[in-house]
């Protein structure tokens, strides 16, 4: 088996101890398993800075998109209308979910290298009173841009609408005051900044808003309210749960705490990210997002200006030396992406940049 570290935004490189948790086959009906689920739910609320009285956490089988689809198809009723704020592929995916489920929606489209504006959002809400819900992505993993959810949520709340945030690639990597901001539904998944393995998503839900969604779901498996109702009783999952993933996730939460919680993890990610961008800049590789809006999760870089440059060649060169990077075309310009979340440290970034340097120099010599 080839061993390499993942410089992708999930699945990502997990610790050996997280992987080791998956070496047991756990049953799902006994109390200790249900208690693990309950403990995870409590811990997630703490990370979101919300109280158990006001909020509740629901775990949902599947990848992150299943969580987004669960929320959109469960809480937006037949007479409701969703405003989707889009500046990347994950915003576009929400449009696709609404089209499939025949959810009434409208779009505020922003270009991919700009953050959506709170003023523009307020204008749209004022002009279209039929809008009841607003959804947006926090860290747009397409480009690496970090959207300003605080200022937009403020406008959404002032207008009395429900706020939905896809914080898939940012939750626990960037501190989010979910309750303080007034976010009603926030979605993330097991294989992003908490550094677990893929298998489920989770949703931090405002209890009152969740209760209001009863009976609205357009899908059985993704019914958020029903999933909550079963889980809330004693920690039982409605259908077969991804047991190995759940055990690994419980361990990953412990390791997040040991690292020093979100502040320490966030700092490591920001430091990795700054170091990467600086070293790439020294090699003449520019990043796609301007400094101010660049998030700490993943960075999009323009191809170098060497005429002989080949991304597949670089990808193989880097991978055979221990790191898998991420392709990605966000604009008409050719770009590639490097994630710096997961079990990735300063030494990895330094080593990676040495590999890039070698690669560029070897091509120049040809």
Ligand X SMILES: *Cc1c(COP(=O)(O)O)cnc(C)c1O
Q: Indicate if the alpha-carbon torsion angle 348, 349, 351, 355 is positive or negative.
A: positive
- For the record, the structure tokens of 278 come out as 């600086």
Q: What x-and-dash track marks residues 67-86 binding ligand X by CB under 6 A?
A: -x------------------
Of 40-48, 62-70, 231-239, 245-253, the window that binds ligand X (rule: CB under 6 A) is 62-70
Contacts with ligand X by CB under 6 A: the residue count is 13
Q: Which residue number has the CB closest to ligand X?
A: 64
Rounded Cα gap, residues 192 and 297, in angstroms: 10
Q: Is 339 in the site for ligand X (CB under 6 A)?
A: no
Rounded Cα gap, residues 48 and 173, in angstroms: 12
Of 63-71, 113-121, 150-158, 213-221, the window that binds ligand X (rule: CB under 6 A) is 63-71
Rg (CA), the chain: 21
User: Minimum distance from CB of 50 to ligand X (Å)?
Assistant: 21
Q: Is 9 in the site for ligand X (CB under 6 A)?
A: yes
**Contact criterion met (CB below 8 Å) for 161 and 125:** yes
Taking CA atoms, 84 is separated from 31, 206, 210, in Å, by 41, 20, 20
Q: Is 10 in the site for ligand X (CB under 6 A)?
A: yes
User: Minimum distance from CB of 183 to ligand X (Å)?
Assistant: 15
* Number of Cα atoms under 13 Å in the Cβ half of residue 126: 8
Phi/psi zone of residue 127: left (φ > 0), alpha (ψ -120 to 50 degrees), beta? alpha
CA diameter of the chain: 66
Of 31-39, 164-172, 207-215, 218-226, the window that binds ligand X (rule: CB under 6 A) is 164-172
Considering only 65, 70, 206, 272, the residue that binds ligand X (CB under 6 A) is 65
* Number of Cα atoms under 13 Å in the Cβ half of residue 340: 30
Of 57-65, 209-217, 255-263, 287-295, the window that binds ligand X (rule: CB under 6 A) is 57-65
User: Minimum distance from CB of 339 to ligand X (Å)?
Assistant: 10
User: Minimum distance from CB of 90 to ligand X (Å)?
Assistant: 4
Please give the residue ranges that form the binding site for ligand X (CB under 6 A).
9-10, 63-65, 68, 90, 137, 141, 166, 168-169, 189
């Amino acid at each position: 088996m080839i061993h390499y570290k993942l410089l992708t935004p999930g699945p990502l490189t997990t610790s050996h101890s997280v992987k080791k948790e998956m070496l047991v086959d756990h049953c799902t009906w006994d109390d200790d398993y249900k208690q693990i689920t309950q403990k995870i739910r409590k811990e997630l609320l703490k990370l979101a800075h919300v109280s158990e009285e006001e909020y509740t956490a629901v775990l949902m089988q599947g990848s992150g998109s299943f969580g987004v689809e669960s929320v959109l198809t469960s809480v937006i009723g037949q007479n409701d209308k969703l405003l989707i704020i889009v500046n990347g592929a994950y915003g576009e995916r929400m449009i696709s979910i609404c089209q499939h489920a025949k959810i009434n929606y409208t779009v505020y489209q922003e270009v991919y290298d700009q953050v959506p504006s709170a003023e523009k959002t307020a204008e749209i809400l004022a002009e279209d009173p039929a809008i009841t819900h607003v959804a947006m992505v926090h860290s747009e993993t397409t480009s690496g841009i970090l959207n300003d959810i605080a200022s937009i949520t403020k406008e959404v709340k002032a207008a009395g609408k429900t706020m939905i945030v896809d914080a898939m690639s940012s939750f626990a990597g960037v501190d989010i005051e979910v309750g303080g901001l007034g976010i009603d539904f926030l979605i993330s998944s097991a294989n992003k900044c908490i550094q677990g393995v893929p298998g489920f998503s989770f949703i931090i839900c405002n209890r009152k808003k969740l209760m209001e969604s009863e009976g609205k779901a357009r899908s059985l498996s993704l019914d958020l309210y029903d999933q909550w109702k079963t889980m809330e009783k004693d920690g039982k999952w409605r259908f077969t749960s991804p047991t190995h993933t759940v055990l690994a996730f419980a361990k990953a939460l412990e390791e997040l705490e040991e690292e020093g919680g979100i502040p320490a993890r966030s700092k490591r990610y920001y430091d990795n990210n700054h170091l990467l961008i600086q070293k790439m800049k020294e090699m003449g590789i520019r990043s796609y997002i301007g400094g101010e809006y660049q998030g700490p999760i993943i960075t999009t870089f323009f191809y170098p200006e060497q005429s002989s440059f080949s991304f597949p060649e670089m990808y193989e060169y880097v991978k055979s030396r221990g790191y898998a990077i991420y392709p990605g075309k966000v604009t008409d310009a050719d770009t590639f992406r490097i994630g710096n979340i997961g079990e990735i440290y300063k030494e990895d970034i330094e080593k990676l940049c040495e590999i890039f340097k070698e690669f560029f120099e070897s091509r120049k010599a040809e």
